[in-house]
């Protein structure tokens, strides 16, 4: 139920803001707006504002909306009102009305990011777990419990890293842009002692990464999967490999075989790799675990279960591994928060366009396209985490909606802006014949994109 409510609220808000952008600018340009609708189909609720010609409505199907303006191309117009019709307006007014919808979504994203910056967000501290063996981070010399204090793309000035999510965002940008990332790291100690410690700089060679997918596999290649956590065993599932071995919640793992375990990420990697890979089968490897239970040393023989990830067998013990990370509160002042909200909106917009470009040219997988099922799933998950997470989700989707609508596809706002650009250059509008052809092509392309996104949704959620 939470997923459905969160999804409908998100859709309703984003559509309402988008259409209100069109409506508000149309009214400001002196255009008569006949109807403002959230959703399609039969109206559920309709109302009018006193003295206004516009009918407002909420319709049955909440998968879009529209603003209907007086227009000679859609029906007869009283000569006395011809100056109020959309099609009689100067080019700059028509372009402003069309562009206002996507711009409204981008401004909403700025506001949402700013609100989160102002109220503050609990995020994991930028303390690194042990990097994946052989990964970019491992080769750069990073180790478990390193505190990342500053970061920058190679050639830029270092900037403070406020949290692990801040670091992850920078790494995502570096991977997709193919830019190396410089990190300034030190030991993780009390803040009062940090300035007295030596800081070393390392460079993550992100340019070596073929970042066709912005997913977990890419972060495994980078080697930074999560923040540092204690190698603690949490809840143990009944009948699992952990339960069979005698592991209990609260056990702290110190060593597996001859390997000293320093954090939860290293422990998870040790469990994953405790599988023998044969030519025709995979089998679990029994290992001796040395641990502390209530301050007492203990040794147990642990044999993980084997699960397939694609064609690769990985170890699983059926228990939560790793204590919760250390959190910090990330909060900005009024103007800094607003500026950071604008910067994040710009960065996400550019990143979205670059990812779309990579998908068009085949440099990125079409698996990155998501549809309504994935959006609904994330809406429910983010809402369950609290207001800040949900607002961040809304901001991300608002940016995506704004950027998508600015694409030069004939059925989208960007397509209409493309027509107006042609009119500005040639002095004449696109002919009705060409308009029909472009509209049909745009619809076909949009349907293909929606089909791929829906297929990805089904595969991701039910595969």
SS3 184: strand
Q: Which listed residue (19, 123, 201, 423) is catalytic?
A: 19
Residue 215 CB partners (closer than 8 Å, separation 6+): 367, 368
Q: Which one, of 414, 413, 418, lies nearest residue 429 by Cα?
A: 418
Whole-number Å distance between alpha carbons of 10 and 7: 5
Alpha carbon separation from 247 to 74, 101, 201, 446 (Å, rounded): 72, 56, 39, 52
Whether residue 165 lies in the annotated active site: no
Alpha carbon separation from 393 to 109, 113, 154, 180, 257 (Å, rounded): 10, 10, 30, 28, 43
251 phi and psi angles, rounded to 5 deg: -65, 135
Helix, strand, coil percent values for the chain (each to nearest 5): 50, 25, 30
CB-CB contact of 131 with 224 (8 Å): yes
Residue 386 CB partners (closer than 8 Å, separation 6+): none
- 10 Å CB burial of residue 53 (0-12, 13-18, 19+) is middle
- 10 Å CB burial of residue 169 (0-12, 13-18, 19+) is middle
Residue 311 CB partners (closer than 8 Å, separation 6+): none
The CB-based long-range contact list for 426-435 (8 Å cut-off, 24+ gap) reads 435/410
Helices marked H in 223-328 = 241-245, 264-272
Residues in the chain, total? 463
CB-CB contact of 85 with 70 (8 Å): yes
Alpha carbon of residue 310 to chain centroid: 24
Q: Where in the sequence numbering do the catalytic residues fall? A: 19
């Amino acid at each position: 139920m939470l997923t459905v409510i969160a999804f409908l609220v998100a859709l309703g808000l984003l559509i309402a803001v988008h259409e209100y952008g069109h409506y508000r600018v149309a009214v400001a340009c002196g255009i008569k707006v006949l109807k403002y609708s959230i959703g399609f189909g039969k109206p559920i609720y309709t109302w009018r504002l006193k003295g206004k010609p516009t009918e407002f409505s909420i319709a049955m199907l909440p998968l879009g909306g529209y603003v209907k303006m007086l227009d000679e191309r859609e029906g007869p117009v009283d000569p006395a009102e011809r100056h109020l019709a959309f099609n009689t307006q100067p080019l700059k007014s028509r372009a402003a009305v069309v562009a206002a919808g996507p711009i409204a979504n981008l401004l909403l994203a700025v506001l949402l990011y700013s609100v989160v910056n102002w109220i503050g967000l609990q995020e994991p501290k930028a303390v690194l777990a042990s990097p994946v063996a052989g990964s970019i981070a491992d080769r750069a010399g990073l180790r478990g419990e390193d505190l990342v204090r500053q970061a920058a793309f190679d050639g830029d000035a270092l900037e403070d890293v406020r949290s692990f999510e801040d670091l992850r965002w920078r790494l995502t940008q570096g991977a997709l842009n193919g830019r190396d990332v410089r990190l300034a790291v030190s030991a993780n100690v009390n803040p009062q002692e940090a300035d007295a410690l030596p800081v070393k700089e390392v460079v993550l060679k992100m340019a070596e990464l073929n970042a066709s997918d912005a997913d977990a596999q890419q972060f495994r290649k980078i080697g930074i999967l999560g923040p540092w956590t204690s190698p603690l065993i949490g809840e143990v599932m009944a009948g699992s490999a952990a339960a069979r071995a005698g592991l209990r919640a609260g056990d702290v793992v110190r060593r597996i075989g001859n390997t000293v375990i320093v954090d939860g990420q290293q422990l998870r990697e040790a469990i994953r790799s405790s599988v023998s890979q044969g030519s025709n089968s995979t089998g679990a490897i029994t290992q001796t675990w040395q641990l502390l239970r209530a301050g007492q040393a203990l040794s147990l023989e642990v044999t993980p279960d084997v699960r397939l990830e694609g064609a690769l067998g990985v170890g699983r013990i059926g228990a939560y591994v790793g204590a919760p990370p250390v959190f910090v509160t990330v909060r900005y002042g009024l103007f800094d928060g607003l500026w950071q909200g604008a910067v994040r909106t710009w960065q996400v917009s550019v990143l979205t366009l670059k990812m779309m470009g990579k998908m068009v040219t085949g440099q990125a997988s079409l698996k990155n396209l998501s549809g309504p099922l994935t959006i609904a799933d994330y809406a429910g998950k983010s809402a369950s985490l609290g207001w800040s997470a949900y607002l961040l989700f809304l901001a991300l989707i608002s940016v995506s909606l704004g950027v998508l609508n600015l694409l030069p596809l004939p059925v989208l706002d960007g397509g209409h802006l493309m027509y107006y650009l042609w009119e500005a250059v040639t002095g004449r509008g696109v002919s009705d014949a060409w308009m029909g052809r472009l509209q049909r092509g745009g619809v076909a392309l949009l349907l293909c994109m929606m089909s791929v996104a829906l297929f990805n949704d089904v595969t991701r959620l039910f595969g």
